[in-house]
């Protein structure tokens, strides 16, 4: 009975998210609340299951934070993921506030001499690279804004460039553990490191990146060149990159924080520092150095996404605690006849087609 209720709650939540009538954190939190009350307390009558799925006690264990400890095995709410993503949000908000992303885009545009086709190529590579370390949606929010600004100045159509950036950021985000939420969820749950992802998915991701670059170059080069005919490309006519910087001192400090965060991510398998610790370090340094606007920075964090993750993890924890996930795994095993190749084929294609229609985060969770 508990399995039936857990599955019904999860799929009801999933359908509401697909319909996209309300912010996705609302059905996620509602689903999480129903899982706790109906499945754990009313049907299973197990307060211990509630404590197990909330998993709050893990945060207070040394192995969660301290270098050199073995990774903790856990189910339910993945606090490593939530804390890391929250910390990165704070850092990215700080970078955006000091003008880092606008400066970077203007600097790249100036290097390629404001030619639209060159901007297309450069921004594809830039979005792919940034998405290796920052969530692809965040990358696109900043890049799309600057792309539109450049398009107005240089009189080219921004839509092809933005479409190419979207493709590139998604491909780049798949290359590393920190690139996209599904990667972070899988990495923290299974104990994979940044370099594990880079070694196993980085190469194929950048093969896809080159294919994306070639495809969009040949699709859009003629139209972009034609749109710029007669447009002066004198750099003195356009904003200088340093004009994007509001606070030069804080700008340099935040770049240092960004670089430090990347280094900690790359080496966290060797140092033993958990990704939650890295997220906290990034956020703490950002807020400490920008203490004058710390409160504003915190209000700009996407708390709705973090609440969505929390509710989603509780719902998935309900499926796990009731044995529904094990039953599904056993069913797939029977259908495949125990063949590893068939199992992987089923999982890969179902995930691929489903993620093309709905959010891929629930599948990863």
**pLDDT tens for each residue of 59-106:** 888 878 775 545 555 568 889 889 999 999 999 999 999 999 999 999
Length of the chain equals: 365
- At 278 the pLDDT is 92
* Spatial distance between the Cα atoms of 309 and 326, rounded to a whole number of angstroms: 22
pLDDT tens digits along 2-17: 888 999 999 899 889 8
pLDDT tens digits along 190-226: 778 888 888 888 889 989 999 999 999 999 988 888 8
Rg, C-alpha atoms of the chain = 23
Q: Report the range of poorest mean pLDDT among 98-112, 163-177, 264-278.
A: 264-278
User: What would the two tokens of residue 302 be?
Assistant: 């996407």
Instruction: Enumerate the domain spans of the chain.
Output: 2-75+307-364, 79-299
Percentages helix, strand, coil for the chain, rounded to the nearest 5? 80, 0, 20
Q: Which of 240, 258, 239 is nearest to 96 (CA)?
A: 258
Q: Which of 164, 141, 151 is nearest to 109 (CA)?
A: 151
Give this prediction's pTM: 0.85
Neighbours of 296 (CB within 10 A): 11
* Spatial distance between the Cα atoms of 171 and 9, rounded to a whole number of angstroms: 32
Q: Which of 123, 127, 105 is nearest to 172 (CA)?
A: 127
């Amino acid at each position: 009975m508990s399995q039936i209720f857990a599955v019904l709650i999860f799929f009801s939540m999933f359908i509401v998210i697909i319909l996209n009538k309300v912010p996705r954190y609302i059905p996620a939190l509602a689903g999480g609340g129903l899982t706790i009350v109906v499945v754990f307390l009313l049907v299973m009558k197990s307060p211990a299951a509630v404590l197990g799925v909330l998993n709050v006690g893990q945060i207070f264990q040394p192995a969660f934070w301290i270098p050199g400890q073995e990774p903790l095995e856990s189910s339910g709410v993945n606090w490593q993921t939530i804390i890391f993503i929250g910390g990165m949000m704070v850092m990215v908000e700080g970078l955006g506030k000091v003008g880092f992303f606008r400066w970077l885009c203007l600097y790249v545009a100036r290097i390629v001499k404001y030619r639209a086709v060159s901007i297309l190529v450069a921004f594809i590579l830039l979005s792919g690279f940034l998405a290796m370390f920052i969530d692809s949606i965040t990358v696109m929010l900043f890049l799309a804004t600057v792309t539109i600004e450049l398009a107005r100045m240089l009189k080219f159509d921004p839509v092809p460039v933005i479409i190419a950036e979207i493709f590139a950021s998604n491909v780049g985000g798949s290359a590393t553990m920190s690139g996209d939420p599904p990667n972070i969820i899988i990495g923290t749950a299974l104990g994979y490191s940044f370099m594990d992802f880079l070694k196993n998915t980085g190469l194929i991701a950048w093969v896809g990146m080159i294919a994306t670059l070639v495809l969009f170059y040949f699709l859009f080069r003629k139209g972009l060149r034609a749109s710029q005919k007669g447009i002066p490309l004198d750099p003195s006519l356009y904003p200088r990159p340093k004009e994007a910087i509001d606070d030069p001192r804080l700008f340099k400090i935040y770049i240092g924080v960004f670089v430090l965060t990347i280094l900690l991510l790359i080496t966290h398998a060797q140092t033993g520092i958990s990704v939650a610790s890295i997220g906290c370090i990034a956020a703490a340094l950002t807020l400490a150095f920008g203490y004058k606007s710390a409160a504003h920075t915190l209000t700009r964090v996407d708390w709705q996404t973090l609440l969505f993750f929390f509710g989603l993890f509780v719902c998935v924890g309900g499926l796990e605690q009731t044995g529904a996930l094990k039953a599904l795994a056993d069913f797939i095993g029977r259908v495949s006849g125990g063949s590893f190749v068939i199992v992987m084929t089923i999982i890969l294609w179902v995930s691929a087609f489903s993620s093309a229609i709905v959010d891929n985060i629930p599948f990863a969770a």
